[in-house]
Structure formats: structure tokens, C-alpha cells
Amino acid sequence: MAKLAVYPGSFDPVTNGHLDVINRASKLFDTLVVAVAINAAKKPLFNAEERVALVKRACDEMGLTNVRVEYFQGLLHEEVRKLNANAIIRGLRAVSDFEWEFQMALMNRELDENCETLFLMPSPKYSFVSSTMIKEVAMLDGEVSKFVPEFIAEELRKRTSK
């Protein structure tokens, strides 16, 4: 049986930390689906189609042939079931992420007993990087190219230039 995992997130924008987790998770599963979440409560800088395209390009540039990128809306456990996935991948940057991620993992398993969550930590050099922080730095005209691929840094500059 082919093993498929789902790595959900807003990826607004995808960071080098996300890409590190994607790369490592892609080696553990036959197929990894990066599931770009549409959440009406959040006001993303990039729309869902743009975020999917940015993640796809980054994965293509990394040569990740077993990674699919698509967007989803709704409950994660339903998307996992629809894809017939074996696991959910979640990244943990720091201890502060753990409590929220742990609660989400338990909720998903409560909603569907077959929903297993695996936690992966990014490389230490990315442990402090978050999409929110990257957007804030970009909005203040700071340099973000060491935290995201250069083409994403360029998109951020275009989107946030005053």
C-alpha cells in the first residue's frame, strides 16, 4: 500500500522552514500532499491560487517529484479521509508550538480515529521563522531572502512595497 501524508498550512508565504519540513517528509512517504488551507477568518497576503503556485514552484525547484500541492477548505480530518492519507505532518518550531499542535492532533484523532499526526522539527536555523514574521519584516522593507526562496522574496517585495 502506498503511503501518503498531508502537510496542511496556510503557507502565506511558504518559508524555508516549511520547505525543510516538506523535503524531509517527502522522504518518509511515497506521496506528500501539501494542503494549502483556505481560512475565511484569516486575511492572507496571497490568495489560495497564488500560495499553491508559490509552493509548487519551490517544490519543483527542489526536485521533489512525489509532492503534490493543492488547496482545501473545511476540516482537516475530512481532507485526510478524502485523500486516503496515512498521516498528517505538522512542523514544530519551538516548545511554544507544541501545546496548540498537540491539541489539534488530539482533536483530529477524536474526529477520526484513523487520523495520525507526525511532528517534524525544521532545521535549527529555521526554528524561529514564521510566515507572520516574514510578512512583517517585508512590510517594513526588511530583507527576507535568507528565510524564503528568492522568487518569493521578490513577490513579497512587490506585494508589500509602499
Provide the residue-wise pLDDT of the chain in tens; the chain has 162 residues.
679 999 999 999 999 999 999 999 999 999 999 999 998 777 899 999 999 999 999 999 999 999 999 999 999 999 999 999 999 999 998 777 788 899 999 999 999 998 899 999 889 898 889 999 999 999 999 999 999 999 999 999 999 886
Query: What's the pLDDT at 41?
Result: 78
Q: Which of 18, 51, 56, 90 is catalytic?
A: 18
Q: Which one of 3, 42, 82, 125 is the catalytic residue?
A: 42
Instruction: Give the chain's count of helices (H) and strands (E).
Output: 6, 5
Q: Is 18 a catalytic site residue? A: yes
CB 32 within 8 A of CB 25: yes
Q: Global pTM?
A: 0.94
Pairing outcome for strands 67-73 and 31-38: parallel
Verify whether residue 51 is a known catalytic residue. Answer: no
How much is the pLDDT for 151? 97
Active-site residue flag, 43: no
**Cα distance between residue 123 and residue 53, in whole Å:** 24
Residue in 56, 90, 93, 135 annotated catalytic: 93
Architecture of domain 4-125: 3-Layer(aba) Sandwich (3.40)
pLDDT at 15: 96
Q: According to the model, what pLDDT value does residue 1 have?
A: 63
**pLDDT for the residue numbered 20:** 96
Say which of 26, 51, 131, 135 is annotated catalytic.
131
